[in-house]
Structure 1
Amino acid sequence: MTTSDTPTHDTAQVEALRERMIERLWAVNALRTQPVADAVRAIPRHVFAPEFPLEKVYDPKAVLKTKVDEDGQATSSVSATWIQTLMCERADIHSGMRVLEIGTGGYNAALISELVGPTGQVTSIDIDPEVTARARTLLAQAGYADRVNVVLGDAEHGHPDGAPFDRIIVTVAAADIPPAWTDQLVDGGRLVLPLRIRGFQRVYAFTHHTGGLLVGETGDHAGFVPMQGLGAPAPTIVPVTDAVSLTTDATPVPAPDLLPEVFAAPARDQLTGVRIGRNAYFGGLQMWLATTLPGFATLSGDADVLGEATMGVHQTPAVWTGTSLAYLLLPKVSTDPDQWEFLARGHGPDAAVLLTTLVEHVQRWDRDHRTGPGPRFLAHPDLPSDTTQVIRTRHTRFVALWDQRDTPQLDWEADPEK
C-alpha cells in the first residue's frame, strides 16, 4: 500500500479506538497533562500509517515499522504512542514555541504542531528522502502541510536556518550530542532524546544552561531505530566466540586474539546475594554499572554459551581490564522458581579482583539506588576528563550524578490490557 492509498475507515470506530488509547495512556502515566491528551485526540493517527490495521495503529505500545533494510531491520517507523506522548510531556512544549524534530514520520510532528499552536513553528528533519517525501504527503493528507516544515538533511548539523529552537526532540537513537544541537537551543531550552550510553538506551530530557552545559534527567527504556549519517553509532565490537561478542567504547580495547583465550579459561563464580522477583525491573542496575565501572562493556550472544541466563535480551554488563574479563548473569534460584540472583562470573588472572568489584557494585546499587529514579547527567564538550566517572563520546563528555529524586515512571501494571 502506498501513501496515496489511504483506506476509508468508520469514523465511530476510529474515535472509539482513539479514546481507548487515550484512556490507557493516562492509566500508565504516558499522558500527564491535558494539552498533550487534546493533541492526541485531534490527530487522525491512522492517516500516518495507512498500511496498518486500525487496531494496531491505536495500540499505544505498537511500533509501526514503515521502512526496513535488506536485513529486515527497521530504518524508519512511527514510534509507539506511549513514548511519543511521554517525550512531548517531558519536553514541556507550549504555545508559540519553535521546535525541531530530528527523525521524521509525520505523526509526532503533528502532535508537536498541535502543542505549539498557530503562533509556533515546527521543523522536522530526516536524512532519508523517501522518509521525508512520505512525511510531507501524509502531513498534507492530515491537514498539517502548512504547519510543519519537513527538511531533508543530516541531523548532525541540526537546522541552522530555523534556529534558535525552544525545544529539540530526537526520535532516532543517538549515541552522542552534536555541538549543533546545543548551539541551536535557547538558554533554558530542552533537548529530549533516546540516548545510548555504553550500550543502554534510555530517554533523557536535558535543559540547556549558560555556557553550553546540559543537565539531564534519565527516564524510561526505549528502542528507537539508530541514527544514520555522521551521527551513526560506531561501537567497538570484538568477537569472543562464534556466538558471543563484546561491545565497548571504553579502553583498553580488547585484543581480538586475547579475548577469546581469556574467555576460554576456567570460570570463577561469585553470587551477589542480590535477588529480584518475576517481572522486576533492573534497568537501573545496568545504568549504574555502565556509569560507575571502569572498563565497562556488554556481552551479547547465546545465553547457552555464557552458561546462565543473560540480563536482558542477549546483552549483559561486563568489565574488561586488558587481561581479565568479568560479567553479570542472572540465574534462577534453585529453591524458588520466582526468584533470580545476580551472579558474577570471571575469567583470567585478575578474575578474583574483578568479581569483588562487580559484586560490590551490585550490592551498593541494591542498598542505595534500587528504588531511586536513576542518575542526572551533566553533558558538555569540556567537562574535566581526569576521572573514570567521565564517559567520553566523539563530541561530548557525560558525568552521571546518582542522587535520589522523585521521577515518575511508566506503570503498565495499571493497564488492564498490558
Structure 2
Amino acid sequence: MTAIDDSTVRDPDALRADMVRALRDQDAVTSESVAAAFAAVPRHQFAPDTPLELAYDLHRTVPVKKDEHGLDISVMSAAHLQAVMLEQAGIEPGMKVLEIGSGGYNAALIQELVGSDGAVTTVDIDRDIVDRARLCLDDAGYGQVKTVLADGEAGVPGGAPYDRIIVTAAAWDIPPSWIGELAEKGRLVVPLTVRGTTRSIAFHRDGEGLVSHSYRLARFVPMQGEGAAKERKALLRDGVAVQTDDERVPLDSEALNHALDSPRLLRWSGTPYDLPDELELYLALNLSSPARLHASQDVVDGGLVEASALLGVPALISEDSIAYRTRRENEDTDGFESGVVAHGPQSEALADEYLKLLRRWAENHRRRGAATIRFLPGPAPSTLPENSVLKRHGIVAVSWH
C-alpha cells in the first residue's frame, strides 16, 4: 500500500481515502462507481478486531475464521482483489446481485453499486459467518442486504434471476444452479480453479454454456460443501509438496522425493520471463501431466528448490521425475529469461517438453488477454477438446489466439 502519514494512521477516514487513491493508482479501480463504493463503505467496521492498518491494506486479507488445524476457512478478501472483481462484474444501479460466500464488506460495496432500487443477497454455508456478516452489515447501515444460510452450490433460487452472480471462494466447478439462476444477459464472476491455477473469470452466457475473455489472477479460500474441490496432495518432505486435481498424474511421494535428491538439470529457453499469470495458465492447460510444486522459505533458502515454488509453480510430473519453471536475469530477454529445473531419471524428457511450451507461448501468445475460456455444461463427450479439463458439471475449455 502507498505510504501513509503517521498523523493520520489512526484515522479510518484518512486510511480509506488513501486506499481508494492507491486502488486507482494500481488500476484495480477504473470506474467512478467502484471508487465511490470503496470511499463510502467503512471497511474497518467489518473487521472490528483488526488493526486499522491491516483492515485498509490493499493486498492483505483479514482472517475471519480458522479450522481445527489453524487454517483460514473464511477471510475478508484483499481490497485490491475485491476491486478487480467488482470492475469485472460491471454492476449497475437497479440490478439484482447474488454473492456466494459472505463476509459483509463486499456485499455492502455491491449495495452501494446497485443503489436503493437494486437488491443484494449474500449466502454462506457457515452459520458463524452469516451471523457475523448480518451483524456487521446492520452496524454499518446496510440492513437492506439479505443474508442467507445455505450451501452456495445451489445458489438462492428464490431471488433468481440475478443480473450478476459473484463468487468469493475458490470454486473447482460451476454447478447448473449458477447458470440457471443467471439472467439472460447476466454475468457470473467466479474464482475458478483449473489444474491448481485460480483465476477470477467474468463469464457471459453463450448458448447453454458460458464464455469469457476477462480473467485475472486471484487467490481465495476454497469452497466448502458440495462444491468443495477434490485435490490430491503428496508431501515429499518437510516443506515440499505437490498437488493436482488431474487423476492421470502419478503422485509417488517416495519416488519424487528421491528425484529431488538427484542432480538437477537446469536448461534455459532463450525466451523472456514476464506476464507470469498468463504463462502459468497456459502451462497448466498444456503440460501433459500437470501438478503444482510448493516449497517453504526454508527449503528455498537451502537451495533445494527454486523460489518460483514459494507460491506454487506449474510442474510436470512422471512416476519418478519432476520439472518446473525458474528464471534468471538476462538483458537479452528483456530483463529475465525463463528456464526449467528437472530432477530424476526422466529429467531430459520432461525438460524438453516444458521448454517447448515456454517457447511456444513466448512466440505465439505472449500478451495479456490472449485466452478465451469457455464452460460447456453437461456430460463429457467421448473425446475431450484440446486444452480442456473435465469437471463434475461440464468442461472448461481454453483456447489461445
State the 1:220 CA deviation: 2.7
Asked whether the 8 Å contact 1:30–1:85 carries over to 2, the reply is yes
**Structure 1 residues 10-409: aligned runs within 5 Å:** 13-145=11-143, 147-211=144-208, 213-241=209-237, 243-254=239-250, 256=252, 259-260=255-256, 263=259, 268-276=265-273, 281-301=275-295, 302-303=299-300, 307-321=304-318, 323=319, 325-330=321-326, 332=328, 339=336, 341-348=338-345, 350-382=346-378, 384=381, 385-403=383-401
- Does 53-62 or 110-119 show the bigger shift? 53-62
SS at match of 2:308: coil
Aligned-pair identity in percent equals 36
1:243 shift after superposition: 4.6
Q: Deviations over 1:324-371 (max 9, x none)?
A: 5341242545999x75541241533x5433322211101112222233
Cα drift, residue 41 of structure 1: 2.0
TM-score w.r.t. length of structure 1: 0.84
Q: Per the alignment, do residues 17 and 238 of structure 1 end up closer, same or farther by CA in structure 2, a change over 3 Å counting?
A: closer
Give how far 1:283 is off.
Answer: 2.0
Distance in 2 separating the partners of 1:251 and 1:131: 33
Residue deviations 1:240-296 (CA, integer Å, cap 9, x gap): 4455333222242415377448726665443322354xxx54222211110122221
Aligned length: 386
CA contact (8 A) 1:346 1:355 kept: no
Cα separation, partners in 2 of 1:190 and 1:229, compared to 1, 3 Å: same
Residue identity in the other structure for 1:168: I
For 1:240 and 1:39, the matched residues in 2 are separated by 46
C-alpha contact (below 8 Å) 1:311/1:330 kept by paired residues: yes
Q: Does the CA contact (< 8 Å) of 1:239 and 1:260 recur in 2? A: no
Residue 59 (structure 1) shift: 2.5
Report the Cα offset of residue 314 of structure 1: 5.0
TM-align CA RMSD:
2.8
Q: Which runs of 5+ in 2 are unaligned?
A: 1-7
User: How far apart are the structure 2 equivalents of 1:175 and 1:244?
Assistant: 23
Whole-angstrom CA distance in 2 between matches of 1:255 and 1:355: 18
Closer, same or farther in 2 for the Cα pair 1:308/1:78, shift >3 Å?
Answer: closer
Residue 408 of structure 1: aligned partner = none
Moved more, 116-125 or 248-257: 248-257
CA distance change for structure 1 residues 135 and 258 in 2, over 3 Å: closer, same or farther? closer
Q: Which runs of 5+ in 1 are unaligned?
A: 1-9, 404-418
Aligned with 2:396: secondary structure?
Answer: strand
Cα deviations across residues 376-404 of structure 1 (Å, max 9, x unaligned)?
2010124754344211122221111212x
Cα distance change on mapping 1:79 and 1:335 into 2, 3 Å: closer
How much has 1:91 moved relative to structure 2?
0.5
2:4 paired residue number? none
Equivalent-residue separation in structure 1 for 2:74 and 2:257 (angstroms)? 40
Counterpart of 1:28, as a letter, is Q
Normalising by structure 2, report the TM-score: 0.87
Higher relative contact order (CA 8 A, sep 6+): 1
Stretch deviating more after TM superposition (156-165 or 292-301): 292-301
> 1:30: how far off?
1.2
- Residues 67 and 308 (structure 1 numbering): CA distance in 2 closer, same or farther, change over 3 Å? closer
Relative distance call for 1:197 and 1:135 in structure 2 (3 A) is same
Q: Is the 8 A contact 1:269 1:343 kept in 2?
A: yes
